[in-house]
Amino acid sequence: MADFRDGRPDPAYGLVVEEVTVNFGGLTALDSVSLAVEPNRIVGVIGPNGAGKTTLFNVICGFVQADRGRISYRGQPMRGHRPHDLARLGIARTLQGVGLWPGLTVLENVMAGAESSVRVDAGSALLGLRRSSRVEGDLAHEATALLQRLHIAEHAGRYPGVLPYGIQKRVSLARALMAQPSLILLDEPASGLSIAEMDDLRELLRELSRDMAVLLVEHHMDLVMSTCDHLVVLNFGRVVAAGSPEVVRSNPEVTRAYLGEEVRPGA
């Protein structure tokens, strides 16, 4: 089942995934999955554990190659792309685990998010020339501003390992934003967050969608239903439903696959 609301998507769409199939040996992890993520929209991918959500992210990122189907971004086919190509294309991703670099401080972790857009040559750095310190200074300034935006600036000089999980999640988000992406893929950003942190995240997602497209994999139905413009439901690697949160909520197949069946008293 495809997820193109008005027939075939316009090539100018942000991300277009068409009929993508991924097999792991005898297991079909994704079966002809299609979806599109337009600029400034929040698209959510939901489904029970093992539905293929993370595999979908991995195939978009190039960690896994599709056996069939096409992926394009802004009209450009992403054929045989590798993970390190994503940042150049303007796509950022956070991982299900936080994936922070334990040996780097919070500030350094966030600064490293701009890796694809900044080059300081070794010669300048070795000689202490102004160019390298200026670039470093600009990056630090930009990273600090992002940390402030996410209310975690006071942790800039600390190492991630000593921080609570919720703070680490925000650091990982700040690092993804540092690349100034036009599309961000968020893999379970709400896991491990408190209710208050979840409210902040909801607000932040809305704020982000003013500047970029957001593709979200998430289990927290409240968050998904209240922030996403469009939902795609996966089950056993197939798209079983797609549409607005209201449409998806009332789809009986989704209720069966994901939310569970209603149990009638005496049934």
Partner 1 sequence: MSHFVNLSLNGISSGMIYASVALGLVLVWRATRIINFAQGSMAMFSTYMAVTLLDRNLGYWEAFAVALAVGLALGAVVERTLIRPLQGKPELNPVIVTFGLFILLEGVAGAIFGVRSRGVPAAFSQSGLTIGHHRVSFSHFDLFVLGSVLALMVLMLVLFRATDVGLRMRASAFAPEMSRLVGVRVGRVLTLGWALASLAGSLAGLLVAPRSAFSPNYMDLILVYAFTAAVVGGLESPVGALVGGLLTGLVLSFVGGYLGSSLEPLGAAVILILVLSARPEGLFSRPAARQV
Residues that bind partner 1 in the complex, under the rule CB under 8 A:
61, 63, 82-84, 86-88, 92-93, 95, 99-104, 108, 111-116, 118-122, 125-126, 128, 132, 136, 159, 161-162, 175, 179
**Closer to partner 1 by Cβ: residue 119 or 210:** 119
**Closer to partner 1 by Cβ: residue 24 or 63:** 63
**Closer to partner 1 by Cβ: residue 126 or 267:** 126
- Cβ–Cβ < 8 Å for 4, 242: no
Which one, of 74, 55, 73, lies nearest residue 64 by Cα?
55
Least Cβ distance, residue 126 to partner 1 (angstroms) = 5
**Closer to partner 1 by Cβ: residue 29 or 233:** 29
**Closer to partner 1 by Cβ: residue 95 or 221:** 95
Which tokens sit at 161? 């390992």
In angstroms, the CA 207 to CA 205 distance is: 5
**Closer to partner 1 by Cβ: residue 77 or 103:** 103
DSSP state letter for 267: -
**Closer to partner 1 by Cβ: residue 61 or 231:** 61
Contacts of 6 (CB under 8 A, 6+ apart): none
Least Cβ distance, residue 116 to partner 1 (angstroms) = 3
Contacts of 145 (CB under 8 A, 6+ apart): none
Least Cβ distance, residue 35 to partner 1 (angstroms) = 20
Least Cβ distance, residue 37 to partner 1 (angstroms) = 17
Instruction: List helix spans (H) across the chain.
Output: 53-61, 83-89, 106-111, 122-127, 130-149, 165-178, 195-208, 221-227, 245-249, 252-254
Least Cβ distance, residue 146 to partner 1 (angstroms) = 14
Least Cβ distance, residue 194 to partner 1 (angstroms) = 16
Phi, psi of 210 (to 5 degrees): -75, -25
Least Cβ distance, residue 198 to partner 1 (angstroms) = 21
Which tokens sit at 13? 């769409």
Contacts of 177 (CB under 8 A, 6+ apart): 92, 113, 146, 184, 208
Which amino acid is residue 83, in one-letter code?
A: P
